[in-house]
């Protein structure tokens, strides 16, 4: 006998999580090459666009390779605050805690302890000046500790210097103390990266969250950073949560971050239409292996479907008529997370959002290359216009006879890369603006039909 559930109750339970950035916010990430490369804040932009699709934010990359605190002090107004950000997210220290202070020759110097102390004092003084200037701009501020220098990974081609990572830990402690002093949020990357690194290297000594220079994070390292940022700032873990409790008299649905309509159920399954308010997170390339070491799916990517009251058996989950997965009644009663299933229409929509972001990030890299070149190479020479650049290249090439020198190759870089990129500057910015608009069109959730049907019936 088949019983139809005559009464459907749909209830909402609120999420305790809060989104940090709001609709219209400009969020400027300010730092060195780790910020310039962008992986961690790229993943944050992707998370926000899929988790909060109706909250359109703009993330601005203001990272420059090699920067110390003194460099950021000099450029922060023209390269960061010029964008009038609502938020500035600051990360510095890797270059201030200089590698040369921890080499074998450095340890041999009798004055090295004094040198390192002075190095750290300079970092602290400059860092607090940056914080003071940023707060004076009225932008909200988030501090971040430096990341790790991996001294322990086995790299036959590159001997690690001993002590630099401890120096970075000290720098991170100062950042956390300063955050407490100014009542600012702070994200600690150093500790979580050390914890994950130890677990990884216990299994595989050559595993690391940084690349072969022991310094710059891999995509996995950037993903761990993004995970830590989201956890620290209490991002919402749920794409949606739908809990169905069925019996012969009624079907009760408790939902979060979704609207339910046209619900139906009987002893052989349930069905309903869902309009989710978010999309699942689309996993970027090169990060999946680190999911064994950080519980991202469990803590930040829950598209939870729970159905209790079904008779024993195997059930097929269909979305929009497409068979997605098979589950036992017991598994459905416990709850299943469908966020990472590649064949769901929601995940496929999210992948389209990721593809648009990937083009955006490629153009962002061009913009940061141009700005880095202007700030580090052209501004010290007093060169401002393209005409001045072309004249400088012509004169320098004429006087430089040795084409193998680094200086000559830098001229070629200006000629072959900077000049074309600068000529296309307006076009690149316009395309980025268009892509940003397209991202916030592609990320808009649409209704889907969910069916959970006993497998033998689903095959009929």
Q: How many CA atoms lie within 13 A of 221 on its CB side?
A: 26
The whole-number pLDDT of residue 2 equals 41
State the architecture of 26-232 in CATH terms.
3-Layer(aba) Sandwich (3.40)
The phi and psi torsions of 404 (rounded to 5 degrees) equal -90, -10
**β-pair partners for 74:** none
DSSP code at position 24: T
Q: What pLDDT score does 265 carry?
A: 79
Q: Which residue has the tokens 């959970």?
A: 452
Task: Enter the tokens of residue 139.
Answer: 């932008």
User: CA 108, CA 37: separation in Å to the nearest integer?
Assistant: 35
**Surface-to-core class of residue 150, CB atoms within 10 Å of its CB (0-12 exposed, 13-18 middle, 19+ buried):** buried
> Quick one: pLDDT at residue 117?
97
Supply the pLDDT for residue 248.
62
Query: Would you say 38 and 361 are in contact if contact means Cβ atoms under 8 Å apart?
Result: yes
Strands 140-144 and 87-91: parallel
CB atoms within 10 A of CB 403: 10
Question: What pLDDT is stored for residue 18 in this prediction?
Answer: 66
| pLDDT for residue 1 | 35
Cβ-count burial 234-269 (b if 16+ within 10 Å, e if not): ebbbbbbbbbbebeeeebbbbbbbbebeebebbebb
Q: Where does the chain hold its CATH 3.40.50.1110 domain(s)?
A: 26-232
Contact 36, 372 (CB under 8 A): yes
Contact 300, 227 (CB under 8 A): yes
DSSP string, 170-201: HHHHHHHHHHHHHT--EE-HHHHHHHHHHHHH
Q: Which two tokens stand for residue 241?
A: 């949560």
Q: pTM of the entire structure?
A: 0.93
Output the DSSP codes for 25-46: -EEEEEESHHHHH-HHHHHHHH
Return averaged pLDDT per consecutive 10 residues of the chain, 460 residues in all: 43 59 97 97 98 97 98 97 98 97 95 97 98 95 98 84 96 98 98 97 95 95 98 95 81 89 82 96 95 96 94 95 96 96 98 98 98 96 95 90 87 95 98 98 97 74
Neighbours of 44 (CB within 10 A): 26
Question: Terminus-to-terminus CA distance in the chain, angstroms?
Answer: 18
> What tokens does 364 get?
């962002």
Alpha-carbon gap, residue 257 to 51, rounded angstroms: 10
Bridge-based pairing state of the strands 258-266 and 140-144: unpaired
Quick check: helix, strand or coil at residue 255? strand
CB 18 within 8 Å of CB 234 = yes
pLDDT of residue 16: 53
């Amino acid at each position: 006998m088949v019983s139809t559930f005559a009464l459907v109750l749909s209830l909402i339970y609120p999420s305790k999580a809060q989104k940090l950035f709001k609709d219209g916010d400009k969020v400027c990430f300010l730092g060195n090459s780790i910020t310039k490369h962008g992986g961690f804040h790229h993943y944050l932009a992707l998370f926000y666009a899929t988790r909060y699709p109706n909250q359109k934010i703009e993330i601005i990359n203001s990272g420059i390779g090699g920067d110390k605190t003194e460099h950021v002090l000099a450029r922060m107004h023209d390269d960061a605050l010029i964008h009038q950000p609502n938020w500035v997210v600051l990360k510095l220290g890797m270059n201030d805690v200089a590698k040369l202070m921890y080499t074998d020759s450095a340890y041999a110097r009798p004055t090295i302890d004094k040198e390192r102390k002075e190095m750290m004092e300079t970092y602290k003084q400059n860092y607090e000046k940056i914080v003071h200037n940023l707060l004076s701009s009225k932008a909200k501020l988030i501090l971040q500790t430096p990341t790790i220098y991996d001294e322990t990974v086995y790299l036959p081609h590159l001997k690690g210097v001993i002590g630099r990572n401890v120096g970075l830990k000290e720098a991170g402690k100062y950042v956390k103390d300063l955050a407490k002093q100014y009542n600012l949020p702070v994200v600690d990357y150093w500790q979580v990266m050390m914890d994950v690194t130890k677990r990884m290297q216990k299994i595989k000594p050559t595993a690391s969250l940084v690349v072969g220079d022991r310094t710059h994070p891999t995509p996995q390292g950037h993903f761990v950073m993004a995970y830590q940022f989201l956890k620290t700032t209490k991002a919402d873990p749920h794409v949606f949560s739908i809990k169905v409790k069925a019996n012969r008299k009624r079907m009760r649905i408790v939902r979060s971050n979704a609207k339910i309509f046209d619900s139906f159920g009987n002893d052989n399954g349930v069905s309903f239409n869902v309009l989710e308010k978010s999309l699942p997170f689309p996993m970027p390339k090169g990060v999946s292996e680190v999911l064994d070491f950080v519980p991202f799916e469990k803590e930040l990517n829950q598209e939870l479907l729970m159905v209790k009251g079904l008779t024993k058996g195997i059930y097929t989950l269909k979305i929009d008529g497409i068979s997605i997965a098979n589950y036992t009644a017991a598994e459905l009663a416990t709850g299943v997370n469908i966020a990472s299933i590649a064949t769901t229409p929601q995940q496929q929509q999210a992948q389209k959002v990721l593809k648009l972001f990937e083009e955006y990030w490629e153009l962002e890299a061009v913009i940061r290359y141009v700005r880095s070149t202007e700030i580090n190479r052209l501004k010290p020479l007093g060169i401002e216009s393209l005409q001045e650049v072309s004249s400088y290249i012509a004169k320098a090439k004429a006087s430089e006879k040795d084409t193998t020198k680094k200086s000559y190759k830098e001229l070629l870089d200006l000629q072959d890369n900077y000049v074309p990129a600068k000529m296309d500057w307006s076009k690149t910015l316009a395309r980025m603006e268009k892509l940003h608009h397209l991202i916030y069109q592609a990320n808009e959730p649409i209704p889907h039909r969910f069916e959970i049907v006993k497998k033998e019936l689903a095959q009929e």
